[in-house]
Structure 1
Amino acid sequence: MRWNPLHSRGLILYGCLFLSGWTSLTYELLWIKQITLLIGGTLYAISAVLCAFMTGLALGAWGIARVLPRFTSTPHGLVRFYGVLEGIIALYALAFPFLLHLLEIAYPLLLNLSFGSETLLHFWEFVLATLLMLPATFMMGATLPVIGRWCIGDQQSRIFSDLSLLYGVNTLGATGGVLYTQFVGTRLLGIENTLFTAVALNLLVCIACWLWKPKTDTAKPAPEKSETKSKKRKAETPLDRRLAWLLLFLFFFSGMVALSSEILWTRILVFPLGHSLYSFAIILATFLFGIGLGSLVAEKILGPGNWVVKFVAVEIAVALLGLLAIPALDHLTVWTHELDRMFYDLDATATRTLWMRSLMAFGLMILPTLGFGMIFPLAGHIHFALFGTVERTLGNSYAVNTLGAILGTVLTPFVFVPLFGIRGSLFLLFGGLLMLAATAWVWQRGAQPRRFAKAYAAAAAILAVVFAASPPSVTTHAPGERNLARIEIDTPPDRLKLLAYKEGDFSTLSVVEDTRTGGRTLYVDGFSTATASDSISGSAYMQAMGFVPMLLHPDPKDALVMCFGTGNTLGTVAQFPAVQVDGVEIDRNVLDMAPWFERWNHQALTQPGVDLHIQDARRFIRWTDRRYDVITLEPMSPVQAGVNNLYSREFYKEARAQLKDGGLMMQWLPLHLVTPEDARAILKTFRAEFPHVSVWNSFLTRIVLLVGSENPVTLDKQRFDAVARHPKLKTLAVEIGLNSFIDAMDFYITSADQLDFMLTSVPVITDDNRILEHSQAVLVPPLKQDTDETFLNLLLARVGRPPPLTGVTPQERLFYERRFQVRTAQRLSVFAQRYRGPGHALFAQKAYAEAMARVRAFREGLDGRPLRLQDNGWIPAAAPLR
């Protein structure tokens, strides 16, 4: 039966298609978050999940095209069938958490079946992720051929115009799903409730499609848009079958280029935009928006007829735009500088940060992605010559393009970037697209050798010009010059020396030295991971993160250091006698940078008793069968994308389970990288899982160390003396400022039991409620005053409360506690004078006893409330901190 789709359309169905794209991206983003908690967040794991998701889409599009005629051939039936697919997706999404739990139970068996091979394990992870998501992703892939068959009917002449609209609406819906999920849903509702909203939308689509009925119209079918009263479209010339297969391969290759370029552009844009959830959402949304918009405007811009010529021309245009963007990357350092200045400007706002980052992503990607969007409906029309029916054309075309995307997902990080670098990969991909499109251009014009020679010569000339204008190879003679090494806005470029640079499969790494101070900084994707120098504030906190927990434990034999970085923490832990250390690092290329920090990390890679694991820390702690006396953790900034997994209550529970009796865990809390609300949430979450929590500090108000344990932790004088007698450990202690036992006492800030006044109104961080990923700190940097305010509230809880001591006589205890009071006064003196706090004039005169009396009186007047800092003094908060 045939029907005129113009008489069976309803705007409500396009709304359903929009919501279908919306929910598909919502599920993809949520499922990636949930599955990587199980199998880890390594590049291999993420790639496995992405490939599994797209494999289901390709199979669904391909499979449904073969069975669709058996289900229905009426518009009403097709729409209902589409609704059924959406309903099944919704029901499966509801069951997904339960199925994921079953996979979690079976995962230890998966580890056994891998026989210690990481490659085999990643294969099994891909297989299981595919099977886990396949029922839903198969249905998602099937929806476009079904709704396309409804709209287009069996008229090849309508494929281009109708598919342009359908694919565009669906992809713009996906854009909305990305923005909703990352900016609104998971922030306000959490992962579980965000998933429920997607389920509700799917069910709404199901109901709308089930109740939908076509309009009855007995009028004569309207002529096609390309027809006029005086002139009918000429019948299309049959397409040469060899050319048709070449065009199909070109479409496959452009799918690979699209996903590869998205990955590569993300690797580039993370430098000016930052390594945050919002930045990645902006990049993905911009990419999808360009494709959706390109599809929508394809018919208006290109018009009907000359399908092959237009298809190849758009492919050539995309290739040229991608190539021309490469020289523009020479200005990336300038762009990054400008965005950094705006970000750190005192007038910075979250809205301005989002707009500037969006404009950066838009400027780089919009033109090529418009082309990618135009290609899809053109390909659908052309490929009808190969597949013969509308449903097979739509299904097979979508499957072929998606298979290309899968290949791009695999090859880009594991082959292209390691071999050719980021810029070189872009040059290779878009250059290859240009040459392949040139081949198709000549073939459709007659495939004469002379024409091939001219086309290849023209393409080669274009490639030569682009290469000469901006060679895609990486140079390392200076930071930011034909490389992605970062330059800090407050450091003159002529003071910086690029010591090492690597564009790895997982991240871009560089080591930059300040030639004036001798300090060296490790950058990971442009983020300053750690700076090591010989000054007391240079790398002391990293060594303290290893030294303090090892000092507090009476006899540590097994230690776990998660997140290698420069290796300073692991190297410090490994200096303790008779200790076995497991180190965990997610990116193996980070280890290549360790030799540049040997002066500070004590050659951590070659220390006896050190065993390094290249693995996601969350996955390692979840599945290891080892237990530890000491666990230390120093991940990237807590507010960066994905790092919330190492600050959630579920993670702390898993880590606590791996501690031996008497074991303790140390967590890094950088006050200068998070908002005061984030800091309080981290502290409350850590305290929620560990019965006993104490707060320590390495003489820097920006860096706080949280120590959690089953039993109260004490500072043992005899343990300290034994450590101080060890030559290597004594040297380490001096390097971080521990010259005496009173210095060790001064590291102590307070017990978390004294901090209820700060924590009453803040939420607990969980895997479902990922507070840190949505921190304002990624959009507006914390002010120094905010950092000082948080630290000062911690410090006030220390007044009159020395650390619990053991191994001292009563006389020694009294002596040390008096000295501790002086140290407390010296710390408070800094803030009292900086913000005109109580007793600030007395502090300036070093009249500590009188000044501390003023401080104690002020604290009593707080009446259990925290304090606020203002330029003209300390003031009580009007209400509990929120």
Structure 2
Amino acid sequence: MSAQPDRLGIVCLASGTVGFVFFLMEIVWYRMLGPLLGGTTYTFGLILCVALLGIGVGGALYALLARLVKPTLSFLAFICTLEALLIAVPYWYGDQIAFWVLHQQSQPVATFLEQVWYWFQIGAFVIFPAALVAGFQFPLLIAIAGTGKENVGKHVGWTFAANTLGAISGSIAGGFFLLPAMTAPGLWKLSVCLLLSLGLILLLTGQRWKPVSLATSLLLSLLTILMITETGPTAVWRHAGIGARRASLEDTGPNAKRNFSHTKNRQCIWEAEGRESSVAITATDSLAFIVNGKSDGNAFGDAGTQIGLGLLGPLLHPAPRTGLVIGLGTGESAGWMAAVEEMTAVDVVELEPVVLEITRRCSQINRDAQQNPKLTLHFNDAREFLLTSKQQYDLIVSEPSNPYRAGIANLYTREFYDSVSNRLNPDGLFLQWLQGYEVDDRTVQIVLQTVQSVFPEVQIWQTKARDMVLVCGKSKQAFQYQLESLQQKLKQPVLAEGLKQGWSVIDVEGILAHFVCGDRTINQLLESVSEPMNLDDRNLLEYAFAKTVGKSTRFSIHDLQNRAVQLDDDLPVSLDSESRKKVTQRRLAMQLRLGGRVHIDDGLSEEQQTRGEAFNLYLASRYLDALARFQTFQPDLSCPIETMVYAHTLAESGVPVPDELLIKVREQNPTEAAAIQAIAALQQKQPGEGLQKILDTLKLLENSPWGSRQLLDSLLFKAVSLCDLDAGYAEPLYEQLQQPFSLHRLEDNRLLVRYLIAEKIGNQQIIDSLQTMEPNAPWKEWLLEKRVRVYAAEKHPLTERARNELSQFKRASH
């Protein structure tokens, strides 16, 4: 018996629609699971495997049950509705899946295979049920198209053609248009609605349908609609850094989860869906941008690397004119490079246009990069740009995301380095960021082996505690700089300002403290191993980096520098003994400034070891003990870092800070000087003077983001103690804390301190301070109780909600 023409038509419509929806969901799964599972090559391979496994099992299941089911349109309608329901279930679970991943990460993992099993559990829960139904659905479509042996080829061919056309249309429409317009969660809901609509059409089109079938499909549809009207995935899932192991719960239980959820959603102040990536902006210590669930740059916290990358090339190159920066991000690297007086043109290649928003918001720290006429922005793939451009450059800077992210390791292959070398002038320099954390020795050796195969001269510099920059010369004559040339370069205003802000250095010794090693050390590191190079068709790094995400590893930049010291390869220029001593001291200060602990090695002199001890005690906020160490040697007041630390230590210890010391601090950073004066006044029982200096500091922070986190945090919480002493001080402090500081510096603590000070004033101020945190108020019992009392007293519209949330907290505590 041949098929009816109308039956083949509706089958093709259904086949095209399910193909369209499945590829929409493929896009959603890739975009949504990346932030939870790490976004590595393993993540994307796992998603594909689970989807194909589900389709295969579903097809096999149909073969087993084919004689038990009747291929009708009403049955197909039920299957489409069931698929919609199964797609909606993970959406309904929402952030609970993210907390599932966090729980997995809290468990010890003995082997990589065990880690893959954890990933598989998440992928299977989200993908497998829907994929299984999709696999069952396709042979059902063919069966509905006709009966018997006639026109089998026609039916199969048309069904396959419609499904393929739908799949292609779904991938193009979803990836290029629907995803940026609707966001991944929106596309998720659209997919569900399309399947529900298809199910309804099929049900109404069927020639015979029973009330039971109609009732079942309608019930499933209603349940599905209720599921997708829930909140779904929030910033907890998408922007908390869970897949990169950058998140953890402070405690166990529902209240810890709720506090985590409120914190992450409160910190996320902007998000957008791009064609290439999901991007969010968070405000914690300062603005940071999150790409596919992982922070790719903190405007202030990563300034050492981002500004350093932009200025290190112009500093080392004898006469730079043209530059190329791969990756825009906060705009600091490109903006500072373009601002250098010698530079005439800087091209920037950025893959994701929505990143422009973070660049715009960071104009105070990137020298207003977007408005610099010397800077030209290209939205393109970096490798394509290098292969198709005819422009030659003096400097090329590559500032990609972490190499463990799928596709990023392609910017660490020999072929990529060849394309970079081809675009460099004969004396050109190539600078590439490389993480020094969550990476093992072998992986670093592969990178160095690969880069050395193209560039004859390679140096390693340090820009943060665990960030390296590979500086590569196209020729052996590329590194022509000497001590005198560096000193002359440092007289250029932009270089001097940028290095003072990004690295807190004002002299050549401070710059040289960031030098790790040269070719001699690298060659010795590589001579004892025979690691292969990283190639396009054998990308070892993509897998090697992905295996060590979030794990402690043996590689250490400090150990690499110690190796260089032993080989007398720890300085790129010749220095006298006094200058070498200053560089050693600057390295101790650099370690304090860049984060982490200060390393105290046996090879240091007794005075240097004591200095290192003083720095570590300072980092631990043990100020009296630190002062005791400082009093055993003469602090180096030519070092801005040590000067600030010494002055802050004196202030916290209640010891008067000499005027000449404050002048030194003020020359480098007026905000830090005002903060130290405030702390000194408060510790010496001068509350009126302390209040005025706190207000001065907060005013300076409105226009400048620069200032030590440890110093400024101490100041903020001393402001609360001042109000405890006398509530009369609260009003001016509260008013000064109303607006975010520059770049949202100290935003978490600003909001908290503003609330604590509001408690000293009155209910209206408490309500105003809470409004800036609603609907994600800190999930702490003392705050939730106060919130209920104040809202009730003022008959606030959120009173009932506040009561309910306090009840939820208390129930979860028992």
TM-score interval for Structure 1 and Structure 2 normalised by the shorter chain:
0.5 to 0.7
Match of residue 480, structure 1, among 224, 228, 236: 236
How many angstroms apart in 1 are the aligned matches of 2:440 and 2:191?
Answer: 41
Assess if the C-alpha contact under 8 Å between 1:545 and 1:705 holds in 2.
no
- After superposition, give the CA deviation of every residue in 1:407-426 in whole Å (9 maximum; x if it has no partner): 11101122222222212212
Q: Secondary structure at the match of 2:364?
A: helix
Q: Give the aligned residue type for 2:542.
A: E
Asked if 1:648 corresponds to 2:413, the answer is yes
Mark the runs of 5 or more structure 1 residues left unpaired by the alignment: 1-235, 806-811, 849-882
2:449 counterpart letter in structure 1: K
- 2:226 aligns with 465
Residue 659 of structure 1, aligned match among 424, 427, 430: 424
Match of 1:588 in 2: 353
Cα offsets for 1:143-192 (capped at 9, x unmatched):
xxxxxxxxxxxxxxxxxxxxxxxxxxxxxxxxxxxxxxxxxxxxxxxxxx
1:507 is matched with 277
1:763 maps onto 2:527 in alignment: no
SS at structure 1 position matched to 2:453? helix
Q: How far did residue 729 of structure 1 move?
A: 3.1
Tell me the secondary structure at the aligned position of residue 686 of structure 1. Answer: helix
Q: Alignment RMSD, CA only?
A: 3.5
Structure 1 residues 794-852: Cα deviation after superposition (integer angstroms, max 9, x where no partner): 544564653136xxxxxx75653453455568889999x9899655895874599xxxx
Hey, what does 2:293 align to over in structure 1?
Answer: 526
State which of 811, 816, 821 in structure 1 corresponds to 2:579.
816
| TM-score of the two chains, using structure 2 as the length reference | 0.66
Residue 602 of structure 1 and its aligned partner are, at CA, apart by 2.0
1:634 matched to which residue of 2? 399
Q: How far apart, CA to CA, are the structure 1 residues paired with 2:383 and 2:278?
A: 22
Identify the match of residue 728 of structure 1 among 494, 497, 506.
494
Contact persistence 1:434–1:459 (CA under 8 A): no
CA shift digits 1:248-290 (9 cap, x unpaired): 2111110111111111111111111011111111110000000
Which residue of 3, 8, 11 maps to 1:247?
Answer: 11
Map of 1:694 onto structure 2: 459
Partner Cα distance (2:313, 2:28) in 1 = 40
- Cα deviation for residue 592 of structure 1 reads 2.3
Distance in 1 between residues matched to 2:585 and 2:365, nearest whole Å: 31
Tell me whether 1:257 sits opposite 2:21 in the alignment: yes
The separation in 1 between residues aligned to 2:28 and 2:573, in whole angstroms, is 53
Secondary structure (helix, strand or coil) at the match of 1:334 reads helix
* Contact 1:701 1:791 (8 Å CA) reproduced: no
Q: CA-to-partner distance for each residue in 1:531-579, whole Å, 9 max, x for gaps?
A: 222xxx6421111111111111122111000011221111111110242
Shift of 1:715: 3.3
Whether contact under 8 Å (2:438, 2:552) holds in the other structure is no
For residues 847 and 725 of structure 1, the distance between their equivalents in structure 2, rounded to whole angstroms, comes to 29
Shift of 1:618: 0.8
What amino acid maps onto 2:247 in structure 1?
A: I
Native 8 Å contact 1:671 1:703 kept in 2: yes
> Distance in 2 between the 1:828 and 1:463 partners?
55
In structure 2, C-alpha distance between the alignment counterparts of 1:336 and 1:817, rounded to whole Å? 49
Asked whether the 8 Å contact 2:80–2:198 carries over to 1, the reply is no
Query: 2:676: which partner in 1?
Result: none
- Aligned equivalents of 1:314, 1:563: Cα separation in 2: 46
1:296 pairs with one of 60, 69, 81: 60
Equivalent position SS for 2:58: helix
CA distance in 2, matches of 1:784, 1:289: 34
Deviations 1:322-358 (A, max 9, x none): 223321224243234334445xx6x553122111111
8 A Cα contact 1:714 1:804, kept in partner: no
Structure 1 residues 593 and 820: alpha-carbon distance in aligned structure 2, compared to 1, 3 A threshold: closer
- 1:380 and 2:142 matched: yes
Query: Matches of 1:739 and 1:841 in 2, distance apart?
Result: 24
Structure 2 matches for 1:781-820, cutoff 5 A?
A: 781-783=550-552, 785-788=554-557, 791-792=560-561, 795-796=564-565, 799=568, 802-804=571-573, 815-820=578-583
Shift of residue 758, structure 1, vs aligned partner: 1.3
Work out whether 1:364 is the aligned partner of 2:92.
no
The 5 Å alignment of 1:420-435 reads 420-435=182-197
Q: Using the alignment, how far apart are the partners of 1:579 and 1:249 within structure 2?
A: 58
Pair 1:826–1:636, CA change in 2 (3 A): closer
1:715 counterpart residue number: 481
Cα pair 1:256 1:407 within 8 Å, conserved: yes
| Residues 755/305 of structure 1: CA separation in 2 closer, same or farther (3 Å cut) | closer
| Post-superposition CA distance 1:424-469 (Å, at most 9, x none) | 2121122111111221122213599x9999899768744542344x
Match of 2:32 in 1: 268
SS, match of residue 555 in structure 2: helix
Change (3 A) 1:295 1:843: farther
CA contact (8 A) 1:746 1:823 kept: yes
The alignment status of 1:747 with 2:505, answered yes or no, reads: no
Q: Which residue of 1 aligns with 2:164?
A: 402
**How far apart are the structure 2 equivalents of 1:673 and 1:556?**
34
* Distance of 1:552 and 1:455 partners within structure 2: 73
Structure 1 residue 692 displacement after superposition: 1.3
Do 1:568 and 1:604's aligned partners in 2 also have CA atoms closer than 8 Å?
Answer: yes
Percent identity over paired residues? 23
For 2:749, the equivalent position in structure 1 comes to none
Taking the aligned partners of 1:611 and 1:657, their CA distance within structure 2 comes to 20
Secondary structure of 2:180 counterpart: helix
Answer yes or no: is the 8 Å Cα contact 1:485–1:501 preserved in 2: no
**Equivalent residue in structure 2 for 1:445, among 207, 220, 223:** 207
Tell me if structure 2 keeps the 8 A contact 1:563–1:586: yes
Decide whether the 8 Å contact of 2:84 with 2:224 is kept in 1.
no
Q: CA deviation at 1:788?
A: 4.9
Tell me the residue number matched to 1:212. Answer: none
Aligned to 2:471, the other structure's residue is in SS state strand
Per-residue deviation, 1:777: 4.3
Q: Partner residue of 1:498?
A: 268
Give 1:530 deviation, angstroms: 1.1
- Aligned partners of 1:728 and 1:645: how far apart in 2? 33
Structure-2 change in CA distance of 1:561 and 1:798 (3 Å)? farther
C-alpha distance in 2 between matches for 1:671 and 1:486: 19
Match of 1:199 in 2: none
Name the CA distance, whole Å, in 2 between partners of 1:777 and 1:590: 24
1:631-683 Cα offsets, whole Å, 9 max, x none, are: 00111112221112111111111111111121111111111142221111111
Corresponding residue for residue 177 of structure 2: 415
Using the alignment, how far apart are the partners of 1:606 and 1:828 within structure 2?
A: 34
Cα distance, 1:239–1:330 mapped onto 2, change above 3 Å: farther
Contact 2:445 2:526 in 1 (8 A): yes
Paired with 2:192 and 2:587, the residues of 1 have a C-alpha distance of 62
2:3–2:145 contact (8 Å) kept in structure 1: no
Q: Deviation at 1:387?
A: 10
Give the counterpart letter for 1:526 in structure 2. G
* Aligned mates of 2:218, 2:590 — CA distance in 1: 72
Q: Match of 1:738, SS?
A: coil
Indicate the residue corresponding to 1:562 in structure 2.
326
Structure 2 segments unaligned to the other structure (5+ residues): 251-259, 613-814
Partner of 1:65: none
Question: Residues 410 and 742 of structure 1: is their aligned pair in 2 closer, same or farther, counting only changes over 3 Å?
Answer: same
Correspondence 1:778 to 2:778: no
